[in-house]
Amino acid sequence: MTRRHINIPVFIPHLGCPNMCVFCDQRTITGTRTELETVRETVDRCVGTSSGREAEIAFFGGSFTGIGEELMVSLLDLAKEYADRGLVSGIRMSTRPDYIDPHIVSVLRRYPVSQVELGIQSMDEDVLRACRRGHSPRDTERAVKLLREGGLSVGGQMMIGLPGSRPESEKECARFIADNCDSARIYPTVVFRDTELARMTERGEYDPLSVDDAVIRSADVLEILTGSGTECLRIGLCDSENLHSSAYLAGPNHPALGELVYGEIYYRIISAQLREKGISGCGAEISVPDRHMSKAVGLNGSNRKRIAGEFGLKSIRFRVDPGAPPYRVSVKKIDIGGN
């Protein structure tokens, strides 16, 4: 959660993606060429501002291994130049599970690929079908196995609140990622205009999640991931991903969605301990890990208010427990005003 490196994102246009995912607002971006010199300029600019932090070139935005071998290899060669010069530590990319095969793996193995992120989205056959995703859970299992056997690290991207999805199928997907992947990203489903999901929403066939529901369901899967030590790299789309444009139609859109989810996780941990220790109607001191203070207190102090109200606490003192690992919290009763 507290990574010290940065990604140098290189957006790969979809070049007319043949798939039909109902939530996708990127299929209309067709025919845009990826100019190697433009990529080089992007990387040069970011390398110049990475100020000593470890950086990776990240080919995101499309299905990197589905763009055609010639272009893919040109981009990998370009990225490798930077790695060979010690300017970046590696290359990462996002792609679809059905765009991984033994040949692709053999190509990737020739480069300093730090991680391949798979758009898993769901491990529920019915959800994938309802989303017209065009691949099955078996494709995902096969892709993960091939990448692992090729010695490559694997990240799993999953979505929350897809058509037909239930909290249980999302937890099942999180368990798959926790058992098989090295990192995760969680994306609550957002509805963009001119997508099939927008039409489904307008016809009343799809109900977008509220922010509150997205937070609860994302926290449910994050608990599974953190419980297994799987690093979660991101929760929710980036601000740059059309969330503030006229393309946004409906769904959980909050500028600090990730913070709300981490706040929910800390609320669950703290309230469970207060309950277990029978602390209520008094003062409480809550020790939390260094660098997690804002997550524990909650956005705008929301956890402080929620916990105080729920347990009738007259005073709450949050303190940093230096060196405590993430999510280790300890709670104790404190005397206030001689009571």
Footprint of ligand SF4 (CB under 6 A): 14, 17, 19, 21, 24, 26-27, 63, 96
In angstroms, what is the minimal distance from the CB of 239 to ligand SF4?
19
Structural tokens at position 196:
């099939």
Classified as helix, coil or strand, 337 is coil
- Minimum CB distance to ligand SF4 smaller for 19 or for 294: 19
In angstroms, what is the minimal distance from the CB of 299 to ligand SF4?
30
Classified as helix, coil or strand, 116 is strand
In angstroms, what is the minimal distance from the CB of 20 to ligand SF4?
6
- Minimum CB distance to ligand SF4 smaller for 97 or for 289: 97
- Minimum CB distance to ligand SF4 smaller for 135 or for 295: 135
In angstroms, what is the minimal distance from the CB of 124 to ligand SF4?
17
CB 81 within 8 A of CB 33: no
- Minimum CB distance to ligand SF4 smaller for 25 or for 56: 25
85: left (phi over 0), alpha (psi -120 to 50) or beta: alpha
Count other C-beta atoms under 10 Å from residue 126's C-beta. Answer: 13
Rounded to whole angstroms, how far apart are CA atoms 156 and 252? 21
In angstroms, what is the minimal distance from the CB of 157 to ligand SF4?
11
- Minimum CB distance to ligand SF4 smaller for 162 or for 316: 162
- Minimum CB distance to ligand SF4 smaller for 197 or for 274: 197
Rounded to whole angstroms, how far apart are CA atoms 311 and 326? 24
CB 319 within 8 A of CB 285: yes
In angstroms, what is the minimal distance from the CB of 279 to ligand SF4?
47
Which residue shows structure tokens 């692992």?
A: 148
CB 152 within 8 A of CB 144: no
